[in-house]
A and B are shown apart, each in its own frame.
Chain A
Amino acid sequence: MIWKQNKWIKYLEGYCQGKNQIQDEYVRKVASSLGLGEPLDIQFEWQKQITQQFEPEDAHGVIILTGTAGDGKTKLCRDIVKQIDGDSFDEDKWNAKSYFCSSERTIVKDFSELQDEKSLVIQELLNVLVNGVSNKPILIAVNDGILVEEIDNFILTSQNEESEKRASQLKEIIEDKINLGFSNCEQQELIKLINLSKLNAKENFSLILDEIIEHSGWEGCDSCEGKITTTCPIYNKYNLLKTQKNIRDNLSDIILLLQLNNEHFTIRELLNLATNTILASTPKAKHLRATKKDTNYPIFNCTRVSKANSFDEFDYESTVEVGFWGMNLGQHKMNNARPYSEINKLMFGELSTNHWDNYLKNKSERKIAIPLDDFNDLFNSKKANDLDIDSELWGAIVRRSRIQLYCYQNGDNKALDLQKFSSFSYFKSMVFDELQERDNCHNIDLISLIVLALNRIFHGRYISENTGKDRLYIPEKDQGSITPISIFHGDEIRDRDIYITKVKGDFELTGSRIEPVIVFDIDRNTSLKLSLTVELFDFLYRISKGSPPNTTNPRLYKKLLIFRSKLASQISNTSKLSGKRIETYTIKDGEFRTSTLKVNHG
């Protein structure tokens, strides 16, 4: 038996390298030079939907594709043009230029690569606003902020007042859509913006992982010694992910958690994450190694594996969580390089509950086994010190075992307790799952929780559940966002005027991520919104259970005091009660109440 050199593994290895190597053009060249029939070509549903916008012959309109570097803007542009041009699509011509302008269409592959043409493109956009219509399809791919910066430069150098005004309008529309996902400016409907940063990274990750696992390139491992003897760590991990779909789901749920906290992962980052998960070697830092097994390289390939002296400890050390959490890349990258830095902020493995600690110890009560189960005796010993174990080793075993428990569990509702945001499971079921089915969420228990927490935050007093759940007390205007204690009562917002909805962008794309917001209806025409991230929800949840607002999360506390100020200002404009009484907040018989000051107004 021999160890084979699989080109497919070599190709995947490219995704683990630096960012430049994951440019679309480059990977296609690499695939071609490796003689791979089909490189990784993931068909995202949203790509098809966007492409369809350009298919009709009379398709006119402006579409700006924006997002972070690595979101797939350029690739999408290429796919759209290839779809429209069909056989006449010229790859070389496409690669040679960034700007294609004719009377029939304008395509900008990468706005940042343009020189003098930038002002031409901006002028085209301004013409659309001036005319109120676009005469041809205009497709522009540009990174966040760059287009706005160019419009700024255009405004600065403009000598025409009308032009300057239009450019300011265009800038506002684009900035609003990049930042908020929507704009209320005039003519915003003429400029459609698809922010690929707003796509569903969880779904993208699932698609990427599935595509890698299902790729025919793995057939290249057939008859390799490593596969036959089940010693190859790469193949073993591939096989694990292929056969245990729950592990893939669990990993993509972590992406969902981060996404609901407004973290976005580009396609490039997800490709890097997926391939690193499969190809990672062993943890670089000693304090994360469960054994003494050490390799000098962060990732495996066929050559390195074939030269390994022994494979004994790879079953423990080269496991799925090593690559997903970036342990093979070293401490610095784990904490500073995306996407690993964001995943590690969740503190998986560092936090636990009795439920999970018991599971860890009592192997027989579990339906799942984990690679580090061979160390199970340690968990049942009285103290690690008694067994004379190095504390670093002990820490590594405990932490990685918890992470493995998470990765391998199948449908355990308490799985996401192993990380920072303990209320995430609740959030997922009450908010996220609801908004997947419906536009709004009016769950009374959920709204009551939010109202109670906000009352406690706004008024600096422990407000009981009896008095703080059904209406949000808004202080009178002018008491400031800096002072924690509000004195005068302004008005109330009843719980029925508070609900949760999701941000709607210009397109309802398959794969758009759900961004929950809490809406506070002040009156028929006025409402304020508060972005409901997992972090905010977790904060509100904890406050509703009695945690002190100012120390639980000082940052969010200050932000919410500012939000209180906005509510107070808005509500004072519409309140029917203003000017009638002086009402203060008091605690009477342990209950928080409003109390009218007995005065004679004359």
Chain B
Amino acid sequence: MDSLHTYSSELMKKYGIKHIPIIENMWGHRFRTDQTPSIIFFELLCVIESQLQAKRAGLISSIFSPDNKTLYFKHRQFFKLRILIYQNEILETLINSDLSEEDRWERQFKYLRGINGELFQFKDEDIEHLKSSFSSFESFYNAIKILSSLTFDPLSNKRWTSKFIYPISSDYIWCDFDNRKSTEDRRFFCRGGELAYLMLCRAGNEVCGELEKYFELWLDKQDNSFAKLANLLVREEERIQLREESRKDLGYLPYQKLPIFTDFANDLSKVLSLELERLDKVKVMIDMVGYHIGNYVLSIGETYHKSPNPAELKKPSYLVEVLSKATNSIRKSSIQSISAQRNKLKRSLTLRADEIIDLYEDVIDLEEETERINKSKEELSYAESYLASHISNYSNVCFRQIGFLSKKNTRSYRYVLTEDFLHSLVVTILGNEKRVEFSNFVKQLRVQYSIYVDTSPDNERELIQRDLNRNSKNLASLLYQMGMLRHLSDACSYVINPYREDSV
């Protein structure tokens, strides 16, 4: 029987990893808690855009293929636009000054020409482009202000090269960068997006084909005002193909094929196919990325906590509370389940670590037996520490950001259905359907996402049926509050797709 996973003994060399890559062989290289679902999504789009260039250059046959493991193009950098939006400190001074139009432009251009760094400095062509695009300084100012209003997490203190605009078109896809060292780094683009990309590549031919079609459309030249503004501000960036020796390896994903990869791809494909506005699609896709990555991390724990070589993937179940003031059996069970899931992650590490350590004999190849044992223990200890810092908590990080996990009204985290996440679930479950009967919707939550609202996962005895019934009612009430439920009669309600139904 084929194993679910493939261990690699090459990771240390390939990625310059200093310790035996135990965690990397179990969950992949890699996830870090700094990389929230939104940043994963930005990195994912960067990778997809690069692979699109590779496809156009004839270097790969399709964007999503299980054979794709290399990056052939440098990520989009688009520094000029980023400088105009985030590093143009003189702009406010100029717009508020009494200077003439000409003087304002002159000062602005002088500033842009004087920026340090070959990558960041505005050349004559860039200045000419600006001059020819805008007939007034005020328009130029307004254009920049408009784009900066689309900044993701605008109040954060991140360096300007780690600030992103919602990627509603290819004009706003760019990589994370260390402006001091003038090099791409892994501060925020930790490879989580690369792993997400690899998952999509291993989803299955049919859905990969659909994804490719939709992402190509997404990355096509757009005709909307946002795209026009970007084009007016900066020239098109030349896409640089990497020399063969400089091509980068994408991250490492230890699983060739898992059903959750297909689920992930199907959800993204569905969202992209909808007649939704782009900004809304971005929000829903980020939520789906957050759910599926978090679910992946926990699924590995769920699958491997009893056996180092299981036959099939097991998914965790999520007992959710629809936020209520009073505590109940659902809340208690949900809190306990999070603790149980974390323990499974630890146990799965314990079960599999030795097999992985054995692959790296040369690292623990020491003369004395005790030294070998100590070295193994040291490596395991490091892995446990990494697990605790970056893996155990990672699903919490993902779920918290999307509104699937909360501490509200309690002291511990438990799974919840907030409006934001519920909105994304309604969009992905209904897709292009106008409506679905409420009990079917609840069933789909269970079947597609292992989200339990009105029934007990694994027949937990602690759950009280009355609490489950009330939970279901609260869900109906919340959907109604959101304008996504229509009551028809005592036993019949429909979850409606507000983007498709005519009447509100």
Report which A residues bind B (CB closer than 8 A): 67-69, 143-146, 148-149, 152, 175-176, 178-180, 197, 264, 476-483, 485, 487-488, 503, 517, 528-531, 536, 555-556, 558-560, 562-563, 565-566, 568-569, 578-579, 582-584, 597-602
Asked if A558 contacts B225 (CB within 8 A), the reply is no
Asked if A143 contacts B277 (CB within 8 A), the reply is no
Asked if A482 contacts B280 (CB within 8 A), the reply is yes
Asked if B492 contacts A487 (CB within 8 A), the reply is no
**Which among B437, B488, B496 has the greatest number of chain A C-beta atoms within 10 A?**
B488
- Cα distance A569–B435 in the bound complex, in angstroms: 20
Q: Which residue from A144, A531, A599 sits with its C-beta under 8 Å from B489?
A: A144
B168 proximal to A (CB < 8 A): yes
Q: What mask results when residues 411 to 437 of chain B are scored 1 for a CB within 8 Å of chain A, else 0?
A: 000000000000000000000001101
Contact A68-B488, Cβ < 8 Å, known A562-B483, A568-B277: yes
Q: What mask results when residues 7 to 31 of chain B are scored 1 for a CB within 8 Å of chain A, else 0?
A: 0000000000000000000000000
B502 proximal to A (CB < 8 A): yes
- Cα distance A568–B133 in the bound complex, in angstroms: 27
Other than the given A144-B492, A180-B502, 19 more pairs (CB < 8 A) read A68-B490, A69-B489, A145-B489, A175-B494, A178-B488, A179-B435, A179-B486, A264-B489, A477-B224, A478-B226, A479-B279, A480-B279, A485-B149, A528-B502, A566-B498, A584-B142, A597-B143, A598-B138, A599-B232
A529 closest partner in B (C-beta): B502
B136 proximal to A (CB < 8 A): yes
A559 contact set on B, CB distance < 8 A: 482-483, 498, 504
Asked if B483 contacts A478 (CB within 8 A), the reply is no
- Cα distance A583–B146 in the bound complex, in angstroms: 12
- Cα distance A30–B496 in the bound complex, in angstroms: 42
Q: In the complex, what's the smallest C-beta–C-beta distance from A598 to chain B, in angstroms?
A: 4
Asked if A569 contacts B277 (CB within 8 A), the reply is yes
Q: In the complex, what's the smallest C-beta–C-beta distance from A198 to chain B, in angstroms?
A: 11
- Cα distance A477–B135 in the bound complex, in angstroms: 26
Q: Which residue from B136, B168, B494, B503 sits with its C-beta under 8 Å from A531?
A: B503
Interface residues on B, range: 35 or more
- Cα distance A530–B149 in the bound complex, in angstroms: 30
Contact A481-B277, Cβ < 8 Å, known A145-B488, A563-B504: yes
Asked if B277 contacts A480 (CB within 8 A), the reply is yes
Q: In the complex, what's the smallest C-beta–C-beta distance from B270 to chain A, in angstroms?
A: 17
B283 contact set on A, CB distance < 8 A: 480, 482
Q: In the complex, what's the smallest C-beta–C-beta distance from B147 to chain A, in angstroms?
A: 10
Contact A68-B489, Cβ < 8 Å, known A562-B498, A599-B143: yes
B502 contact set on A, CB distance < 8 A: 180, 528-529
- Cα distance A126–B301 in the bound complex, in angstroms: 49
Q: In the complex, what's the smallest C-beta–C-beta distance from B121 to chain A, in angstroms?
A: 24
Asked if A558 contacts B277 (CB within 8 A), the reply is no
A598 contact set on B, CB distance < 8 A: 134-136, 138-139
- Cα distance A480–B276 in the bound complex, in angstroms: 8
B245 proximal to A (CB < 8 A): no
B276 contact set on A, CB distance < 8 A: 565, 569
Asked if A179 contacts B496 (CB within 8 A), the reply is yes
Asked if A480 contacts B133 (CB within 8 A), the reply is no
Q: In the complex, what's the smallest C-beta–C-beta distance from A181 to chain B, in angstroms?
A: 9
B504 contact set on A, CB distance < 8 A: 530-531, 536, 559-560, 563
7 example contacts (A-B, Cβ-Cβ < 8 A) are as follows A143-B489, A478-B277, A479-B277, A529-B502, A578-B223, A584-B146, A599-B143
Asked if B483 contacts A558 (CB within 8 A), the reply is yes
- Cα distance A598–B139 in the bound complex, in angstroms: 6
- Cα distance A483–B136 in the bound complex, in angstroms: 28
